[in-house]
């Protein structure tokens, strides 16, 4: 009886697993028979044997997308895509590494977001959110939030961004005086959490100066987050993770509920305020236009808004923070670019190093008079995109490269690897080099960016809702930091303190990206900040 029971249990557990494996392996068998591009494939293991040799060429902990970027160079005859079968660690994939195919997937066909994204965002947002929604639900939600991220609203919130930026600069001054090594990524994440807090829910979080439960819970969830490519079973199925994520979600929800009640009361009382409207103020106003005012905010709207705010807090601070860190890193490695950006800031804001904040308060339009600064940001995002695109294939949707090769998408997820597209030598001259001038030359110039080749904010209807805010935040930060400070990474010191063997760079860069929510610099980017030497 015991043997029968154990056999029945094994069938219940392993039966669905084996059935799905057979189904997916048959799918790739058919794709291979059609002559579609893919690495050497095994009927039992799929492409699992392909990954170890690739990972040996990269440092431990780097992004899986870097391995697939290496793999993509073996398929140049198809101009930018290949099929990969690494189930059960990921669903069947069509990996896209060329601008043309990315444009087709995300713009021409506007393929939907796949269900596989739902569990990724579940511990972060806590429910259905703008990033994973599709169809009418997505359109309705996007319409409510679009006004809150308009260019005019961004100008109104600029004083509050400057307020948080001044705290950040003050903290960097403290580090410059102490001469200590610190983790710039951690500090900048706290800073951007404060910025997105004031812009999204009109609340100052003060994460840089003291503990804030909302910010701490969000950062904790990201630190505990398990990426899809995690193979170590002790990390992948850590029994503590669901408990930590549940508690973090509870803390975030309670905090956000209280702030929503405050914003609703402000709207209901219609009292004048000196603070600009936040994204949530505008959403509440739009939602209540067709509803009767009540003593409390509608519970259904509140639950929906809570999820979207958690998404904005994540997306609004994480990717922007790492872009600031990488921009400062690139400028420190390229003195000519640093000199040019300082000259531009002198021209726009005056030669006093600490005047940018005051100038932007009185003349916010000056943030749009920084072409070289914008070029530095774009080139930083090209080399270090915080994320990639993910879409779901559909029956009848077939992509086609410039050579006429056709690639079916049905029953597949499409992984648009931004890093692979941004570093594709078929489209970018000297693709691994930091050259801001790419963004200043005229069409026809060899350096001129390819159409659809720069995708950190994606294109099409599903482009990043907060890209205007992100660019504003980064411009303001660079304007207030680069003229006063020199930033120097301390990876040599770090490697002496924490020695390890093996490869330590990706694409020749020690500050390579690791998956931690967005793609962050490894080890938190240890650095020292010094005051810039005053010129005669």
Annotated binding-site members for heme: 464
Cis peptide before 88 (omega within 30 of 0): yes
Question: Environment class of residue 228 by beta-carbon count within 10 Å: exposed (0-12), middle (13-18) or buried (19+)?
Answer: middle
Contacting residues for 425 by C-beta, under 8 A, at least 6 apart:
431
Strand stretches in 398-444, DSSP E: 398-400, 406-408, 413-416
Query: Which tokens in the block code for residue 282?
Result: 């505008």
- Rounded alpha-carbon distances, angstroms, from residue 408 to 34, 62, 495: 10, 30, 46
What DSSP element (H or E) covers 419? Answer: helix 418-422
Work out whether strand 413-416 and strand 485-489 pair parallel, antiparallel, or are unpaired.
Answer: unpaired
Q: Which of 122, 87, 90 is nearest to 229 (CA)?
A: 90
Provide the token pair at 35.
Answer: 């002559």
* Cβ contact 206:164 at 8 Å: no
Structure tokens that stand for 87 in this block = 């189930």
By the 10 Å C-beta count (0-12 exposed, 13-18 middle, 19+ buried), 142 is classed as middle
Residues annotated within the binding site are 464
| Segment holding 228, helix H or strand E | none
Q: In what order do the strands lie in the sheet with 413-416?
A: 81-84, 93-96, 413-416, 389-392
Rg (alpha carbons) of the chain, rounded to whole number: 24
Spatial contact of 427 and 101, defined as CB atoms under 8 Å apart: no
> Closest Cα partner for 353 from 486, 178, 489, 155?
486
φ/ψ bin of 36: left (φ > 0), alpha (ψ from -120 to 50), beta (otherwise): beta
DSSP string for 351-369: S-TT-HHHHHHH-GGGGGS
**Under DSSP, is residue 440 helix (H, G, I), strand (E, B) or coil?**
coil
User: At residue 238, what are phi and psi to the nearest 5 degrees?
Assistant: -65, 120
Residue keyed to tokens 């009767």: 292
């Amino acid at each position: 009886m015991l043997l029968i029971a154990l056999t029945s249990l094994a069938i219940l557990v392993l039966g669905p697993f084996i059935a799905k494996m057979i189904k997916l392996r048959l799918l790739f068998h058919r794709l291979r028979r059609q002559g579609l591009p893919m690495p050497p494939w095994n009927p039992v293991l799929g492409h699992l044997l392909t990954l170890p040799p690739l990972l040996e060429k990269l440092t431990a902990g780097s992004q899986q997308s870097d391995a697939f970027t290496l793999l993509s160079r073996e398929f140049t005859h198809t101009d930018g895509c290949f099929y990969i079968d690494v189930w059960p660690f990921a669903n069947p994939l069509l990996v896209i590494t060329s601008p043309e195919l990315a444009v087709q997937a995300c713009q021409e066909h506007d393929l939907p977001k796949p269900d596989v994204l739902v569990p990724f965002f579940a511990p972060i947002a806590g429910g259905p959110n703008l990033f994973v929604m599709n169809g009418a639900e997505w359109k309705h939600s996007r319409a409510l939030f679009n006004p809150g991220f308009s260019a005019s609203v961004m100008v109104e919130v600029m004083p509050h961004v400057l307020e948080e930026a001044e705290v950040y600069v003050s903290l960097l001054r403290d580090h410059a005086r102490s001469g200590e090594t610190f983790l710039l990524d951690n500090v900048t994440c706290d800073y951007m959490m404060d910025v997105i807090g004031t812009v999204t829910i009109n609340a100052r979080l003060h994460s840089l100066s003291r503990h804030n439960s909302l910010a701490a819970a969000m950062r904790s969830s990201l630190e505990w987050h398990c990426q899809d490519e995690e193979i170590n079973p002790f990390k992948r199925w850590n029994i503590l993770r669901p408990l930590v994520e549940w508690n973090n979600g509870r803390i975030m929800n309670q905090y956000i509920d209280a702030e929503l009640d405050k914003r609703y009361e402000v709207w209901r009382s219609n009292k004048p305020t000196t603070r600009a409207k936040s994204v949530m103020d505008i959403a509440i106003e739009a939602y209540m236009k067709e509803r009767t005012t009540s003593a409390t905010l509608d519970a259904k709207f509140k639950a929906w808004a809570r999820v979207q705010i958690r998404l904005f807090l994540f997306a609004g601070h994480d990717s922007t923070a790492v872009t600031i860190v990488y921009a400062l890193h690139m400028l420190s490695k390229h003195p000519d670019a640093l000199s040019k950006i300082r000259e531009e800031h002198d021209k726009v804001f005056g030669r006093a190093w600490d005047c940018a904040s005051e100038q932007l308060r009185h003349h916010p339009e000056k943030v749009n008079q920084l072409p070289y600064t914008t070029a530095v940001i774009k080139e930083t995002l090209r080399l270090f995109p915080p994320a990639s695109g993910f879409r779901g294939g559909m029956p009848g949707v077939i992509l086609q490269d410039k050579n006429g090769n056709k690639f079916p998408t049905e029953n597949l997820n499409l992984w648009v690897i931004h890093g692979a597209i941004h570093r594709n030598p078929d489209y970018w001259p000297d693709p691994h080099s930091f050259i801001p001038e790419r963004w200043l030359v005229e069409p026809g110039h060899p350096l001129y960016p390819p159409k659809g080749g720069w995708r950190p904010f994606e294109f099409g209807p599903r482009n990043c809702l907060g890209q205007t805010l992100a660019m504003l935040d980064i411009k303001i930060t660079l304007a207030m930091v680069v003229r006063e400070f020199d930033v120097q990474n301390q990876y040599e010191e770090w490697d002496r303190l924490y020695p390890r063997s093996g490869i330590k760079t990706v694409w020749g860069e020690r500050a390579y990206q690791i998956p931690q929510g967005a793609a962050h610099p490894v080890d938190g980017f240890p650095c020292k900040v010094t005051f810039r030497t005053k010129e005669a």
